Amino acid sequence: MTIAAESTWWFAVMMGLLGSLGALVPAAVVLFIPDGWRRRVMPYLLSYATGTMLATAIVGLIPEALEHIPIHEVGVSLLCGLVLFFVLEWTVIWRHAHGGAPDIGPDHARHAHGEVQAHDLGRKTGMLVLIGDGVHNMADGIAIGAACVASPGLGLVTTLAVLGHEVPQELSDFTILLSSGFSRGKAFFWNTLSGLGTLVGVAAAYGGLGYAEPIVPYALSIAAASFLYIGLADLVPGLHGRIGAASGVWQFAMMIAGMVTIATLTMLPH
């Protein structure tokens, strides 16, 4: 494979597509698992997703941000991100709670309310995942675009590094969206739309690097805050008591496997 001596817009766009859709396609295999079997393995997939999200934030995104801005700025960005996602989650729950309810008899009121609340809490988790992943993808796109400006070779290497950590991340996203009540089609559509944030980042960096590059560490910090919030506030509590103690050992092992996957990928040169 030969690489051009200088990057072009087409090359940068191709790298952006490779970094986004290239991760979505292999991760989308989870959509084709039969429903019955997927319900049985969903607790383990969610455990793996929890591990990848926490490790991506702590091992991947935060150290990357610390390489560019002081630790107190990373801390403030993380705190702002946590507050932002708390407000977003509260807003979604409040909107559903005040959206009106059908007229039902008193014997079924509390049971129906519990079902609706559980469904809404699942949906808002999926929405938060999409927002956080969109910010993360945009930061990845800025990194790819900046590398393409330097040289096509560096652009390709950076894209492959992004692709490496995005495949397990997108697998986790699909798992969470399906568990949150999204249909297969909607999960693929919305996750693909979120993935296109990579192209937005590529365009911003390649077309106006001087304006886009300084926001990368702050975007990484916000993305890390979203993954920490979703993992600790939504996914970890949902894993407790989901299945028996014996199977819980396998859940724990899958969560550790997710952490090890991301930790290993972050050690690769990029």
Q: Concatenate the DSSP letters of all residues of 197-242 into one string.
A: HHHHHHHHHHH-HHHHGGGHHHHHHHHHHHHHHIIIIIIHHHHTTS
Domain-located, residue 23: yes
Distance, C-alpha 254 to centroid of its chain: 18
Q: What is the pLDDT of residue 256?
A: 93
CB crowding 126-157: b at 16 or more within 10 Å, else e: bbbbbbbbbbbbbbbbbbbbbbbbeebeebbe
State phi, psi for 214 to the nearest 5 degrees: -65, -20
Domain-located, residue 58: yes
CA distance 262 to 224: 14
CA distance 168 to 171: 5
Q: How far is CA 256 from CA 53, 168, 208, in A?
A: 11, 14, 40
Domain-located, residue 102: no
At 76-89, the pLDDT tens digits run 999 999 998 888 77
Domain-located, residue 61: yes
Decide: 182 and 126 in contact? Cβ < 8 Å. Answer: yes
Q: Concatenate the DSSP letters of all residues of 98-147 into one string.
A: TS------HHHHHHHHHHHHHHHHHHHHHHHHHHHHHHHHHHHHHHHHHH
Q: The domain containing residue 229 runs over which residues?
A: 2-31+42-96+113-267
Closest CA to 86 of 136, 135, 128: 128
Q: How far is CA 26 from CA 34, 77, 159, 234, in A?
A: 17, 32, 16, 26
Domain-located, residue 201: yes
Decide: 173 and 56 in contact? Cβ < 8 Å. Answer: no
Domain-located, residue 106: no
Q: How far is CA 102 from CA 95, 105, 106, 107, 112, in A?
A: 16, 10, 12, 14, 10
At 17-40, the pLDDT tens digits run 998 888 888 888 888 888 778 778
Indicate the number of domains in the chain: 1
Q: How many residues does the chain have?
A: 270
- Within 10 A of 165 (CB to CB), how many other CB atoms are there? 24
Domain-located, residue 221: yes
Residues of the chain with pLDDT under 50: 1-3, 96-98, 100-121
Domain-located, residue 79: yes
| Helical axes 184-195 vs 197-207, angle rounded to 10° | 10
